[in-house]
Amino acid sequence: MRLLDDVREIRSEEASVEAEDLSVAREVLAIEIERAKPRPARTKRRRRVGLGVGLGIGGLGAAALGTFAVVSIVAGSVVAPAGVSSASAAELLERASDAALAQVAAVDAQLAPGQYLRVETTMDQVTTDGTAQDRPAESGGFRRHTVEVVYVPADRTQDWIVETRADEVTGVYGPEGQEFLDSVLAEPQLDEASVRAYPAGIRTYGEETQPIDMYRDRYDEMPRDPDALLAWFDSQAPGGYAGLAILNALYQNLPPADLRAALLGALSRLPEISLVAEDGDLATIQRTNADSVQQFVVDTRTGMLVSIIDPARHPNGIVPDGIPDNIQTFTTSIVDSAPTPAR
């Protein structure tokens, strides 16, 4: 129950609803809020769905087939942008929305029978011996690089293949950083490198199930008009969390292109967004509210979400300045085959 184990320490005022009334949107929202927090000390390492545990990963790479562009982002350019153009965040999101809308027919035509949409998610996350807001890092921390690749079949009712790579530790910080890292690695590991098949893209956690594309069951009821869609999310995730819920829905770029266009259009209407940087077709947008600051990068040419960044929100003397708490990057391509699941 890796995903459900991640949902903990949510403040009662943020999740005070009856279980039977908890919608999919609110569940995902709670998961994402917790996922963005730095991990507490001396606990089993848990993370967002399916990211593996261990040291060392091999080289990555897959040729992009068809006309899907492979997109990526360099972390440093996001955290320390060179400059901002005169275009507004809303204008750039509208441009990305138009690009996504233009792909509606193309996406369906590109993925031929037997092909897969390959979505590689990398995460670079800082773990310290602190416990979020109440106690910053004291003496040690480390940064890990994790990789998960989802192969989405042309017929989404067939098996989705999920390849989990082992972690790579990319930085150790503080006078007791190595000791802290060793103590974490000594704990029972929840996930190892693996290749698994999930029928119709449904993961199972004990008695619980959840689609990999988390909002799948609600795609049909989501309005395609951006204003109406924003109102829909406001009703599902009140209290200023609509923006975070919309980003959840965009996660891994799995919604149909017309819905992605509407989701980006809905984001453009939020008052808490601002433009941080623009680098060619890549626009870095910041979403700020009373509880958090979050950045996300969109490709305005393809209408795809490229990266999500949680900047360092709990300053300490352990982790060097400029390293974000968490950065996730999505790379999308079309391939002719997927790895064979372990039996």
Rounded to whole angstroms, the Cα distance separating 338 from 341 reads: 9
Residue 119: strand pairing partners: 150, 332
- Residue linked to tokens 């670079």: 124
110 versus 323: the higher-pLDDT residue is 323
- pLDDT digits over 48-89, tens only? 333 222 222 222 222 222 222 333 333 333 333 444 554 688
pTM, two decimals, is: 0.71
Rounded to whole angstroms, the Cα distance separating 127 from 140 reads: 9
Backbone angles phi, psi at 233, to 5 degrees: -70, -35
Nearest to 310 by CA among 96, 79, 149: 79
Q: Is 95 in a helix, a strand, or coil?
A: helix
Q: Is the pLDDT of residue 296 over 80?
A: yes
Q: Computed over its alpha carbons, how large is the radius of gyration of the chain?
A: 19
* Structural domain boundaries in the chain: 2-335
Contact 229, 18 (CB under 8 A): no
- Which of 24-28, 140-144, 173-177, 319-323 shows the lowest mean pLDDT across its residues? 24-28
> In the predicted model, what is the mean pLDDT of residues 14-18?
38
Q: Is 331 in a helix, a strand, or coil?
A: strand
> In the predicted model, what is the mean pLDDT of residues 233-244?
87
- pLDDT digits over 147-194, tens only? 999 999 999 999 999 999 999 999 999 999 999 999 988 887 655 789
**Residues listed for the chain:** 343
pLDDT of residue 4: 32
Rounded to whole angstroms, the Cα distance separating 248 from 239 reads: 16
